[in-house]
């Protein structure tokens, strides 16, 4: 009996040692990860290049608009539309970095709120044009930005050639767009050092800011670019196809594809088609339980990509939603399943608190 108890005691001690060792591993494995290197990847390989490209594209939009105003012909207007499309798709690669210089400051809301709100309030836009109020000195952010231009440049666009007030308002929206993006690009030139120096995971730290912006951007795709116009949000009983992003240009699906590409790039720490430096995937892989979560995350992301590939390119996304297309429904379902991996599981494993409210319950 004495030997049995001794053996049991020995096994108990060994068990405690094992548990303690595992706990210590869990505490130390993640802290060994090079978060400073990860933040450098994001700043220099993804964020600053995305905003710089957006600035170039919006500058080209402003130049094409000036050319149109000088001759007012249809070919010049087409050049403006082409420049807007290039800038708008570039925006899909920058709109996830909604913090730091792109965050709220003073009277400015975040960059997404300032230039990316949809759907546009077309009634209010028309009221401002009628009143010849081109100041944009108001809180109606759904009357400016990229999606106001979606309306102004594509809905009865011939009006622009014949209506000076309409042109004045459009020009003011373009100028506001460029001003806000110039501020963000300029801001990152000094904010970069602050971003790289904050290597902790606490709320307000760079890793937390980036991670929360990443998740919130992903949820905006699921909830508002797909869920809302498809009629999947709480209180909706049917699709509301006019609520898609870029309803008037019909560029909704291309924008959706580009935005999902950006989410994928942020998760992987990726530029182009190759992974260049550690990103969130590497970070998750470095902690206890991480490889299992990465495998589950990537398996579900593959399902999202398959679902996206099955959504037809034609007709436009709003028409597919109006028809209750089953492929759109399936995409929303797969996006919904992805949420737990990006949001709940990842935040728990990395010890990063979710600091925004999606009003989604998940």
Q: Please choose, from the candidates 109, 326, 317, 95, the residue with its C-alpha nearest in 3D space to the C-alpha of residue 225.
A: 317
pLDDT in the model for residue 11: 44
Residues 100, 225, single domain; the answer is: no
* Residue 13 belongs to some domain of the structure: no
Residues 151, 186, single domain; the answer is: yes
Q: Are the CB atoms for 141 and 114 separated by under 8 Å?
A: yes
pLDDT in the model for residue 358: 57
* Residue 8 belongs to some domain of the structure: no
- The number of domains in the chain is 2
Q: Which residue, 173, 198, 223, sits at the end of a domain?
A: 198
pLDDT in the model for residue 271: 73
pLDDT in the model for residue 29: 42
Q: Are the CB atoms for 303 and 67 separated by under 8 Å?
A: no
pLDDT in the model for residue 347: 96
Q: Please choose, from the candidates 340, 210, 337, 350, the residue with its C-alpha nearest in 3D space to the C-alpha of residue 289.
A: 350
Residues 311, 355, single domain; the answer is: yes
- Please report, rounded to a whole number, the percentage of residues in the chain having pLDDT higher than 70: 88
* Residue 21 belongs to some domain of the structure: no
Residues 152, 281, single domain; the answer is: no
Domain with 293, as residue range(s), is 200-362
Question: In whole angstroms, how far apart are CA 313 and each of 83, 302, 328?
Answer: 21, 19, 11
Residues 162, 304, single domain; the answer is: no
Residues 162, 103, single domain; the answer is: yes
pLDDT in the model for residue 357: 74
Residues of the chain below pLDDT 70:
1-31, 272-276, 358-362
pLDDT in the model for residue 349: 96
Q: Rounded to the nearest 5°, which phi and psi values hold at 285?
A: -60, -20
pLDDT in the model for residue 108: 81
Verify cis geometry, omega within 30 degrees of 0, for the bond prior to 315: yes
* Residue 155 belongs to some domain of the structure: yes
């Amino acid at each position: 009996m004495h030997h049995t108890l001794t053996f049991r005691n020995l096994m108990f001690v060994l068990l405690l040692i094992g548990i303690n060792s595992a706990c210590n591993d869990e505490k130390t494995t993640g802290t060994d990860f090079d978060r400073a290197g990860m933040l450098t990847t994001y700043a220099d390989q993804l964020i600053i290049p995305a905003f710089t490209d957006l600035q170039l594209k919006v500058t080209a939009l402003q130049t094409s608009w000036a050319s149109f105003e000088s001759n007012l012909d249809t070919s010049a207007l087409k050049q403006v539309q082409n420049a807007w499309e290039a800038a708008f798709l570039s925006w899909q690669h920058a709109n996830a970095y909604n913090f730091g210089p792109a965050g709220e400051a003073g009277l400015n809301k975040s960059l997404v709120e300032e230039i990316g709100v949809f759907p546009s309030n077309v009634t209010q836009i028309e009221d401002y044009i009628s009143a010849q109020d081109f100041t944009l000195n108001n809180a109606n952010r759904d009357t400016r930005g990229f999606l106001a231009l979606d309306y102004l440049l594509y809905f009865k666009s011939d009006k622009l050639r014949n209506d000076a007030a309409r042109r004045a308002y459009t020009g003011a929206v373009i100028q506001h767009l460029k001003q806000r993006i110039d501020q963000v690009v300029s801001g990152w030139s000094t904010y970069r050092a602050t971003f790289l120096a904050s290597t902790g995971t606490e709320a307000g730290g760079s890793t937390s800011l980036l991670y929360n912006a990443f998740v919130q951007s992903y949820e905006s795709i699921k909830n508002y670019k797909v869920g809302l116009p498809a009629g999947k949000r709480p209180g909706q009983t049917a699709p509301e196809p006019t609520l898609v992003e870029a309803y008037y240009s019909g560029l909704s699906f291309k924008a959706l594809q580009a935005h999902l590409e950006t989410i994928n790039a942020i998760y992987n720490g990726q530029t182009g088609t190759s992974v260049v430096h550690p990103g969130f995937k590497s970070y998750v892989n470095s902690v206890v339980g991480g490889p299992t979560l990465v495998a589950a995350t990537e398996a579900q992301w593959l399902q999202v990509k398959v679902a996206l590939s099955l959504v037809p390119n034609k007709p436009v996304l709003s028409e597919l939603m109006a028809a209750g297309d089953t492929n759109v429904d399936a995409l929303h379902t797969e996006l919904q399943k992805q949420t737990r991996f990006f949001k709940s599981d990842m935040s728990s494993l990395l010890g990063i608190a979710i600091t925004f409210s999606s009003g989604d319950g998940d």
